Chains A and B, each alone.
Chain A
Amino acid sequence: MKIAVLSGKGGTGKTFISTNLACIADKATYVDCDVEEPNGHLFLKPEITKRIPISVLVPHVDESRCTACRKCVDFCKYNVLALAGDKLMIFYEICHSCGGCTLFCPQKALTEKEREVGVIEEGVSENVAVLTGLLNTGEVSGVPIIKHLMEKMPKHETVVIDCPPGSACVVMESIREADFCILVAEPTSFGVHNLTMIYELVTLFNIPFGVVINKVLPGENPAQKFCAEHKINILTQIPFDEELGRLNSKGHIVVDESKKYRKLFQELLKTVEGEVAK
């Protein structure tokens, strides 16, 4: 069972929910797909067993063969290549690794070479196997790293995927393999705006889902109202609780420290398992 945890913006509690859900399971794999700022490891503190460099293929020019015919420049829709006089310039960082330029080069002056964009760390934290994607600073897209993370997920185990915030390419790549999505939202009008974005996304992907409303205070709850209006299943609501803030700020796993929340997460996992079995 693969559970993806996503939200329309950062700071709603994706990592809080993902790490605690992974820890409450008998055995689980936690996958941090928030490759620009992975922070699940701050709570799980895994012992790193392996570091795997992740590369993408980009064009490399053999200047002695290039005749400045500019077929590659005209072909590339991402404008990776430019020709100044007879000098071919390559802007690797915006290359989408399609390989087209190397196929079109009549002189075989272009070949593909590997360029490292980040690493995947494999580690263990008690009953949780941890996979962390780390994108190198300054890189444009985390998609190649997330693709590799998806390939590394075990097939028949509980997997919790901690997604990047928002609803862009990196999130789509992170939820592609999921059996169920947990949408984390805040109980505010702003929260509803962000929830709407990911609600539309998971609906488009046709993945079963439910909502967790986090940081709930007594009184108005626009996110709850939105869920009622759209007949969306609310899996649980987590209060805006000083105890949680304190435990989180110390980097603790809440289910290890609090009986109340241990029960809440046990029930959440059970609810999700029930939904997936449907």
Chain B
Amino acid sequence: MKVVVPVESKSLETPVCPSFGRTPLFVLFDTENKKHEFLNNEAAASQGGAGIKAAQTLVDSGAAALITYRCGENAAQVLNAANIKMYKAQDGTAGENISKFIDGKLSLLTETHPGFHNHGGAKG
């Protein structure tokens, strides 16, 4: 299966990006062959609806799981519709979080926030 983590630069050694919708990159890790690739998050520069667009990128990538600190309600709806499971990230690098995920040490992310609509710089 494929698991996705938001990251700020093209390395497994970087911390998990605190933002899901506006992270610059995602790392897509394949737990079967242990290979990974990086996906650009085109939603990062969106005026609005970044979470929805970022979730679309994940759906299109064929990922089955996401490791993130937080996720907005709209993005969560898209991920749920595509049966992508959300796991709560822990302090540490993307690589460490992926290892914990494989070992079954991450818990499901059950809380979503209502989003930062119009409070993150974009204006209606």
A89: which B residues are within 8 A, CB to CB?
77-78, 81
Minimal beta-carbon separation of A79 from chain B (angstroms): 3
Given contacts A82-B55, A168-B124, whether A87 and B49 have CB atoms under 8 Å apart is: no
Query: How many angstroms between the C-alpha atoms of A79 and B47 in the bound complex?
Result: 9
Minimum C-beta distance from A142 to chain B (A): 8
Q: For chain B, which range describes its interface: under 10, 10 to 19, 20 to 34, or 35 or more residues?
A: 20 to 34
Flag if A84 contacts B117 (CB, 8 Å).
Answer: no
Provide the residues of chain A in CB contact with B55, threshold 8 Å: 82
Contact A73/B56 with A79-B46, A169-B123 known, Cβ cut-off 8 Å: yes
Task: Answer yes or no: A77 CB below 8 A from chain B CBs.
Answer: yes
- Report the Cα distance A85→B49, complex, angstroms: 19
Nearest-neighbour CB distance to chain B for A24, whole angstroms, equals: 34
> Which parts of A128-168 form the interface with B (CB within 8 Å)?
140-141, 143, 168
**Which listed residue, B43, B77, B81, B124, touches A79 by the CB 8 Å rule?**
B43
Q: Please determine whether A84 and B49 come into contact, CB atoms closer than 8 angstroms.
A: no
Contact present for A77 and B56 (CB under 8 Å): no
CA distance A140 to B120 in the complex (A): 13
Q: With an 8 A cutoff between CB atoms, is B39 at the interface?
A: no
Instruction: Say yes or no: A83 contacts B59, CB within 8 Å.
Output: yes
Establish whether residues B59 and A82, one from each chain, have CB atoms under 8 Å apart when the complex forms: yes
B95 at the interface (CB under 8 A from A): no
Given contacts A89-B77, A89-B78, A143-B124, contact A77 B47 (CB under 8 A): yes
- Contact in complex: B52, A82 (CB < 8 Å): yes
Contact A84 B43 (CB under 8 A): no
Given contacts A83-B56, A89-B78, are A141 and B124 in contact (CB under 8 A)? yes
**In the bound complex, how far is the Cα of B78 from the Cα of A80, in angstroms?**
11
23 examples of A-B residue contacts, CB within 8 angstroms: A73-B56, A77-B47, A78-B48, A79-B43, A79-B48, A79-B50, A80-B49, A82-B52, A82-B55, A82-B56, A82-B59, A85-B59, A87-B81, A89-B78, A91-B52, A94-B49, A94-B52, A140-B117, A140-B118, A140-B124, A141-B118, A168-B123, A168-B124
Interface residue ranges, A against B (CB under 8 Å): 73, 77-80, 82-85, 87, 89, 91, 94, 140-141, 143, 168-170
